[in-house]
Structure 1
Amino acid sequence: MKTIALIFLSLFLTKSCQAKKEITENAPVTEVIKIKDSSHSEEVTQIKPEMIENKVQTGTKVEYEATSRGFFSKIIFENNQITVVSDRNNPEKGTVVMLTKENVSEISNLIKAVKLNELPNLKAPSEKRMYDGAAHANLTITSNGTKYTGAGFDAGNPPSAIAKLVSKLVSYSEKK
């Protein structure tokens, strides 16, 4: 009888944990802001959080993550928008920045300039992250279903091949 109860309890807890994980991964983003391109007066439509859905990946996705013991920042470019998450315990509480066509075009050109096959081999210009002198940062680009992950670098000091892309992504997190 104890064995049956133990098996039942194990199955119940396993299913319970999987359900919580699905809820977290599909949770809506809580805040949406709009951004205007400084060189143009083009208005950007605002999307309500209830309207945001997890879209099937079409094209390229760029993820920049910087983390240390007391700091966390994750910036995701996908589907013509940038999502900024600053709380590692609540990844669903992020800010969505809707981009203009010019912003998307600029970021797309910066992504095209990166040689994806060389991304994992890029050498970081400094190593302060090794002794907690800087947050550890990484850039991951997913293109056509293939994921290219960088080797890691100090936040604020990326390799020169990805420096413009990283600084552009980080600039959107500073605008919120």
Structure 2
Amino acid sequence: MRIVSLLLLVIFIGTGCSSQKKTDMASTVIEYSAMSRGYYKKIVVQNQTVSVTNKRDAQAVENTIKKTDWDKIVAEFEKINVESIPTLKAPTEKRFYDGAAIGNLKIIQNQKTYETQGFDNGFPPKEIEKLVNLLTDFAKE
């Protein structure tokens, strides 16, 4: 009987924590930007909506994110330690000689902002690569 009670308690606590993380996603803002002298792109994801801006001073195009795409974003976001985002190292340095636009990922959660150092657009740090690729897919549509 103790084992069954303990098992139920563990399951209850585990599902409580995961639903809390998904609830936090409703108020979390994920922003990806890439820019250089002749290139500008900004993608903002919040509460199952995406806003894409393709040029400086242009109007953003806003769309609703499909549930399957949203679930992928949530799954990848849950794998990221937001506290470590400012310390991530870029795998390439093409942006130093105008070989690539400067990419940046910013996450605003619980009134705190976590922002990466600049990295080459198209070559994000390995820890956030899948999330960044999911975000940039919205700009291709």
Q: Name the TM tier (shorter chain).
A: 0.7 to 0.9
Residue 95 (str. 1) matches residue 68 (str. 2): no
User: Any gaps of 5 or more consecutive residues in structure 2?
Assistant: 1-24
**Contact 1:97–1:172, Cα closer than 8 Å, also in 2:** no
Aligned to 2:98: 132
Computed over aligned residues only, the root mean square deviation of the Cα atoms, in angstroms, reads: 1.3
**Contact 1:60–1:141, Cα closer than 8 Å, also in 2:** yes
Aligned to 1:9: none
> The residue matched to 2:31 in structure 1 has which SS?
strand
Aligned to 1:73: 41
Residue 64 (str. 1) matches residue 32 (str. 2): yes
Aligned to 2:51: 83
Shift of 1:58: 4.7
Which 4+ residue blocks in structure 1 deviate beyond 4 angstroms?
none
Q: Which has the higher helix share?
A: 2
User: Any gaps of 5 or more consecutive residues in structure 1?
Assistant: 1-56
Q: CA offsets per residue over residues 99-119 of structure 1, 9 Å max, x none? A: 122221211111111111110
> The residue matched to 2:44 in structure 1 has which SS?
strand
> The residue matched to 2:30 in structure 1 has which SS?
strand
Aligned residues with identical type, % of pairs: 37
Residue 173 (str. 1) matches residue 114 (str. 2): no
> The residue matched to 1:76 in structure 2 has which SS?
strand
Aligned to 1:119: 85
Tell me the matched-pair count: 117
1:153 aligned partner, one-letter code: F
**Contact 1:75–1:83, Cα closer than 8 Å, also in 2:** yes
Question: Which structure is richer in relative contact order (CA contacts within 8 A, separation 6 or more)?
Answer: 2
Q: 2:129 pairs with 158, 163, 168, which one?
A: 163
Q: If the length of structure 1 is used for normalisation, what is the TM-score?
A: 0.64
Q: If the length of structure 2 is used for normalisation, what is the TM-score?
A: 0.79
